[in-house]
A and B are shown apart, each in its own frame.
Chain A
């Protein structure tokens, strides 16, 4: 069997992550990374569409509690994702395929490590089981 290489889509909040990055072009070089202005802007339909398009997991990086530039975007995301996980479960998609991390990382140095870590979890889960 060929080595399984999971596809991970990563959304990150621009006000909390990577705004001081030395490499402005990094966003286009890291695979499947979508910086957004606020994590609250990510719709559940965006996440579902990712799975439908072939992603094995979605990682959402938001800013830490109390630090959202748009007041409560991170809290909205948390609410949305917690509910979405329940829905995904009923369709046979493991809830761990949608992860969230709320923190501040101006240089974005931690992003590759977070992607690798979640990638390892996805390898354990194996390819998504389609119904």
Chain B
């Protein structure tokens, strides 16, 4: 029976420098990826029998990342650094997590509230997106009374801009509603802090001792050409990408709204592709126009992910690379066409500074133009609260997220730097730690960014190829249902088994929780016996056994961070210089042999 006992909980232990598997290092919130992969790989292959195990794995993930059910649909940052990439394809961690999510989302509604004693100060969290939710969750667990101020009538922030065909609505609502319920977070809706009478000073007077602001980037960036704003952006038929996605997710745009219309999407980021693919699903004949070029190796490459580009291409979306927009032309108040000069260079040493060849300008006709060239924070409100410098930039300590103008204010999420969902969550966690230190009177100076070193790919004779990810064929996916097929239980087990478990045992301990190991033995080298032959080095798949020169001799030693205590070097050593300390195999063998 699959069981996991809590004594072997893994932890990323605070150390100035330590090894981690590259996936865990890449994950902004350092999720225990290897550990949960191994736990999945050891599940029974019958869904009924595996259910308990899946929920235990989910509970474990939830403790650290209450939004993991959402991550399983939209993130996958860890896959970008997976060591397996070079040897047959990254482990499909996102789909593994989605697999857990599919069972766990149903269970979440019955999950009991945390039994938290909240006797610490009142803290306000402004903004109900992933950054704010994460901060509120973490502070609640630490015993603070947290109130979340949300400007709109629902939590989730920018997560609502993710199209439904990538993230089903029920997964998102279940994750958010249950997070707030389980952690006992008090939420005030339609409370836009910084607007009207609801100022930060008012929060302070009401007894909130610290405030975390993660209001995101609600203001769409307007289209510019050269240094100038492109005229006529208020013509009928022109809209901004985030507004469009917001309306689609609110069901304010009826199906087939764009049938028979030419939709032009300006921008080359993932959001632009979300917009284009949503517009296509509403029936529009859609074209993406972006400054960047197609070649992913170029300095001016398109920023959107390859999977988005492939998806859009399959769905019949035309992509016009290396084109800017110099003019918007309309007739009787409606957009008619735009003029697109060729973009010769996007970035130079000063950063974003596009150059154009005006002699090569083409007109592109369209009925709808959706501008998706980025978005920014609500600067006016931040300015009014005196959180910006003269140049209009946020004045915040990048390590502690504490405002440098008001010590009781902490800032993070997209507001500080636009990033992925997990980046905002990371800011939430950092802010929670900083707020605790600030309120407990501890120095914030002690928080320093941790240095992790990624472990290399272990050597092995057989590397397995990645499974095929199945998408519903394009002609059948012109709707807002999820189009990617998730893993079945046997597929999830197979994929999890493929994980090479690159990381050190100390950050994983899956074998302890499941009872395969009783403790983590360590390899000890008897220096007097070691002859420095190096056989252990050749047999170790993790580069843990190494040779070093000590005075006039060469002897072997074991890097405890990299060692997996598999015992292969012990077996291979011809001079019996190596042994496993804390391992009871020899005792068991001796007992059996004595009874023969």
State the A residues within 8 Å of B (CB): 7, 9, 14-15, 19-22, 24, 32-34, 36-38, 40-43, 46, 49-50, 53-55, 65-73, 75-76, 80, 106-107
Contact = CB atoms under 8 A, between A and B. Distances in A.
Nearest to A23: B1
Interface in B553-580: 564, 566-568, 570-572
A7 B497 CA distance: 34
A66 B462 CA distance: 5
A80 B535 CA distance: 14
Contact of B567 (A41, A54, A68): A41
B21 to A, nearest CB: 14
A14 B460 contact: no
B539 interface: yes
Interface residues of B, number: 39
Nearest to B500: A71
Interface in B463-506: 463-464, 497, 500-501
Contacts of B459: 71-72
B575 to A, nearest CB: 13
A49 B593 contact: yes
Nearest to A9: B592
Nearest to A44: B571
Given A53-B594, A71-B500, A72-B541, A41 B566 contact: yes
Given A65-B462, A72-B461, A46 B567 contact: no
A68 B38 CA distance: 12
B109 interface: no
Interface stretch (B342-350, B410-418, B511-519): B511-519
B595 A32 contact: yes
B552 interface: no
A55 B542 CA distance: 35
B596 A55 contact: yes
B458 interface: yes
Given A32-B592, A73-B566, A37 B461 contact: no
B529 to A, nearest CB: 15
Contacts of B593: 9, 49-50, 53-55
Contacts of B568: 38, 40-41, 70, 73, 76
Interface in B258-306: none
A75 B539 CA distance: 11
Interface of B: 1-2, 38, 42, 44-45, 458-464, 497, 500-501, 511, 514-517, 539, 541-542, 564, 566-568, 570-572, 585, 588-589, 592-596
B460 A15 contact: no
Given A38-B568, A40-B566, A41-B571, 20 more contacts: A9-B592, A9-B596, A19-B514, A20-B2, A20-B42, A34-B588, A34-B592, A37-B511, A37-B567, A38-B566, A40-B567, A43-B571, A53-B594, A54-B596, A55-B593, A68-B460, A69-B38, A69-B501, A70-B541, A71-B459
A24 B542 CA distance: 31
Contacts of A55: 593, 596
Contacts of A65: 462
B571 A40 contact: yes
A34 B592 CA distance: 8
Nearest to B459: A71
Contacts of A38: 566-568
29 contacts: A7-B596, A19-B514, A19-B516, A20-B2, A34-B589, A36-B585, A37-B511, A37-B516, A37-B517, A37-B566, A37-B567, A37-B585, A40-B566, A41-B568, A41-B570, A42-B571, A49-B593, A55-B593, A66-B463, A66-B464, A68-B460, A69-B38, A71-B460, A71-B500, A71-B542, A76-B539, A76-B568, A76-B571, A80-B571
A41 B592 contact: no
A34 B591 CA distance: 10
Nearest to A21: B1
List of 4 A-B pairs having minimum Cβ-Cβ separation, nearest first: A41-B567, A70-B566, A71-B460, A53-B593
A75 B461 contact: yes
Interface centre among B44, B460, B594 (most CB of A within 10 A): B460
A65 B462 CA distance: 8
A71 B447 CA distance: 37
Given A65-B462, A71-B460, A106-B44, A32 B566 contact: no
B520 to A, nearest CB: 11
A121 to B, nearest CB: 18
B590 to A, nearest CB: 9
A41 B458 contact: no
A41 B596 contact: no
Contacts of B570: 41, 43
Contacts of B595: 32
A19 B42 contact: yes
A50 B590 CA distance: 9
Contacts of B539: 76
B589 A46 contact: yes
A66 B41 CA distance: 14
B175 to A, nearest CB: 30
B61 to A, nearest CB: 21
Contact of B541 (A9, A24, A67, A71): A71
Nearest to A41: B567
A97 to B, nearest CB: 14
A86 B430 CA distance: 61
A92 to B, nearest CB: 20
Contacts of B462: 65-66
A43 B594 CA distance: 18
A75 B595 CA distance: 30
Interface centre among B45, B542, B592 (most CB of A within 10 A): B592
Contacts of A19: 42, 514, 516
A65 B592 CA distance: 28
A72 B585 contact: no
Contacts of B589: 34, 46, 49
Given A36-B585, A65-B462, A20 B44 contact: yes
A81 to B, nearest CB: 12
Contact of A41 (B45, B497, B585): B585
B596 A70 contact: no
A1 B1 CA distance: 44
A73 B460 CA distance: 9
